[in-house]
Amino acid sequence: MNRKEFLRNSVLLGSTLAFSEQSAFAGNLVNNPIDRLADEQGNFVHQALPFAENALEPHMDAETVHLHYTFHHGNAVKAANKFQGKIREAMDKGEFENVDFYTKKLILQSSSHILHSIFWTNLSIQPTQPKGELLRRIEQQYGSYDKMQQLLAYLSKNVDGNGWGILGYQPYFDRLTVLQCENHEKLTQWGVVPLLVIDVWEHAYYLKWRNKRDGFVDSLFALINWDNVAERLEQAVKLK
């Protein structure tokens, strides 16, 4: 989905969903055509969901989407802004120990914000298939789409505790990479741009799937917006 389509869909959804961020979102776009995670002053922004909260039923229930988007993601945005303010205050006072303390807190919350923002746009009411350059790279590196999907599913299901499975692009090596992330920021790799992220924190599935993380991960592949993943790859390749 390009920026115009995303905006148009947001406007269409606006009549049925109350997005307090919507006007701010439309009014403060920066250059990245997919994401707007911060405004021009550097404040973190909780951009609108690209679909209605019940749109992903039955794979993902509306209550889970509501709680996940509004509180888990939303609170990460609030916390990131709070910690960023604390860092600015501490910098003004020259209190570097406090800068260090709040920077670590900011990294966790801003990483949550980044991954959740990507996560929502990775999901779609209309299932699509990987094609073009994305599919070519997947087949070249992993042998087939099925094999890559199996690897991504395996890593996602087997995260220790809370975390994410991630298909990313590594611009330094011009290669795709499949990573397992603990919490929101651990086990990552310098430079990798996330293309497709799978949230396996319990809040992402527990209401519907209970303890069956494997079932949730397998089910999620029916919702992947591969056009969004392909668009992310197209942007990321420009960084090489």
Residues that bind Mn ion (CB under 5 A): 72, 199, 201, 204
Both tokens of 129, joined, read: 């298939």
Q: Residue 117 or 170: which CB sits closer to Mn ion? A: 117
Cα(59)–Cα(202) distance, integer angstroms:
15
Both tokens of 213, joined, read: 């993380």
Backbone dihedral region of 153: left (phi > 0), alpha (psi from -120 to 50 degrees) or beta?
alpha
How big is the CA angle at 81 (ends 75 and 82), to the nearest 5 degrees? 85
CA nearest neighbour of 60 among 111, 124, 115: 124
Min. distance of Cβ 96 from Mn ion in angstroms?
A: 32
Min. distance of Cβ 174 from Mn ion in angstroms?
A: 30
Q: Residue 55 or 135: which CB sits closer to Mn ion? A: 55
Q: Residue 199 or 227: which CB sits closer to Mn ion? A: 199
Q: Residue 83 or 201: which CB sits closer to Mn ion? A: 201
CA nearest neighbour of 110 among 179, 170, 167, 45: 45
Min. distance of Cβ 121 from Mn ion in angstroms?
A: 14
Q: Residue 53 or 199: which CB sits closer to Mn ion? A: 199
Min. distance of Cβ 69 from Mn ion in angstroms?
A: 9
Min. distance of Cβ 21 from Mn ion in angstroms?
A: 18
Fill in the amino acid letter for 121.
T
User: Nearest to Mn ion by Cβ — which residue?
Assistant: 199
List CB contacts of 189: < 8 A, sequence separation 6 or more.
168, 170, 177, 179
Min. distance of Cβ 22 from Mn ion in angstroms?
A: 21
Q: Residue 179 or 204: which CB sits closer to Mn ion? A: 204
**Exposed/middle/buried for 97, CB within 10 Å: 0-12, 13-18, 19+?**
exposed
